[in-house]
Amino acid sequence: MSPPDHRPPRHLLAAVRETTGHSLPTYARAVAVRAAAIGYPGMAFRREKVARWEAGVEPEMPAQLAMADLHRGDPEQVWARGWPGWLLLALPGTDIRAPFTPEATMSALDDLTSDPARAALLPTDVLTDLTTRWTSHVQDTIGRGMNGGYVGEEVSAALHARLTALWHLDDSLGGTPCTDSAHTDLTMITRILRQARHTGQRTTDLHYLAAEYARFLGWAEFDAGRPGTAHRAWHTALRAAAEVADPAHSAYLLANLALACIYDGQATTAAQMLATARDLAGTRTTPLVAAMITTWQVRGAAATGVARQAARLLAQAETEYERSRTGDDNPAWAYWMVRPTHMAETGRAFLDLGDPATAEQLLTDGLTALAPEAHRDRVLYHVWIATARVRQGHLDAAAHATTQGLNAAQAVESGRCTTLLTTLATELAPHQASRPVRAVLEQLGPA
């Protein structure tokens, strides 16, 4: 594998070759040997041949089949995906280190939409590598400007409308019921990208839609309690976003992945990714979006136990939020952002910092301001309010908040909420001598 500071390969074949430790000559010889073994003897094995392949010349089919055999790939995928897309499957384990090219993006989209259930939880070193390399690529893309395509305004408007509906459906029902719809729409967008005629801004918009649908799919899978599937969707979203040159949305994608890492216990990695996301957004976004990412940084800092930094970031987020005004050109996906001190993740941050009294106050204020249709978030607030009360010894009040959380959970399908309720049961268990706690633990059992 190339070291992290090595320039990423520009062609999928170069990525495959470097990952497997081959030079140009040794790879040429290995392919020739495999070709002979599968019935194509006499293949030349000059290094120049491999160099031409990596420069864009498509190998003859016997050579491709020999490569597939060399990498233990499915020869049917060679025919089905074509060159060089099938090479993505030849990368060992996750395909995260494939170069950022339109071909790799399309292959990743094909892979995600054809087999949505396959999970690929990204290890810490891969997450760090992805953050560094992908962010660099996005910055380069921003500098180059947008290249794009056209399929018609009516198609674009319809896809955007469906996307907005999914966002709000997730708020009300939780992520689990939304995954099938998100996958279906992402499949449609992938086919449009591959088959329709589009140029200029329309192509850019289609890549944005692919990125945002994949991001949303990742979020829905994360909320459903399937982190490996979520990581895979976010990886694909980052690839599609690399074609768009939208720093705010790019930062939002990376922040989604980072927030999930906090839940997965990768706090240090998450804090680094959130810092990268905030730097990527920079001043090229609205104060509201800046406040959103900075607020998630509060959670990241708290998860790593850095109380002073968490407090500083929260003050910064409040200042950024105060600068936001009606009429700002905020992106549509930022519709859910509320005052930073009212966000559930902020209250949870103070639980991580060992300050349950402040956590309860922030969460109670946030719950009061919560939109009526935000059923899933209502569960989060009640669970964390109950946790804060337990830690302060207010057992009757904790049991009451738990009951409210259970009632709110009846309206949603969210693996994340289920996990949080299970964790709350563990928090309550040492206090079973309290009658209200014992009663609510009986409710939590079947739930």
Position of tokens 């959130």? 274
Residue 392 has a pLDDT of 96
Torsion of CA 360, 257, 220, 105, to 10 degrees: 170
Is the confidence at residue 140, as pLDDT, over 50?
A: no
How many whole angstroms separate alpha carbon 377 and alpha carbon 373? 9
Q: What is the pLDDT of residues 382-395, one digit of tens each?
A: 999 999 999 999 99
Reply yes or no: is the peptide bond before residue 84 cis, omega within 30 of 0: yes
Average pLDDT over residues 182-205: 82
pLDDT tens digit string along 247-290?
Answer: 999 999 999 999 999 998 999 999 999 999 999 888 778 999 99
For the segment 21-31, the average pLDDT, to the nearest whole number, is 90
- The whole-angstrom separation of Cα 211 and Cα 217 is 10
Q: Is this structure's pTM higher than 0.75?
A: no
Q: Strand, helix or coil at 325?
A: coil
Instruction: Note whether 278 and 297 are within 8 A (CB).
Output: yes
pLDDT, mean over the chain: 84
187: its two tokens: 């499949």
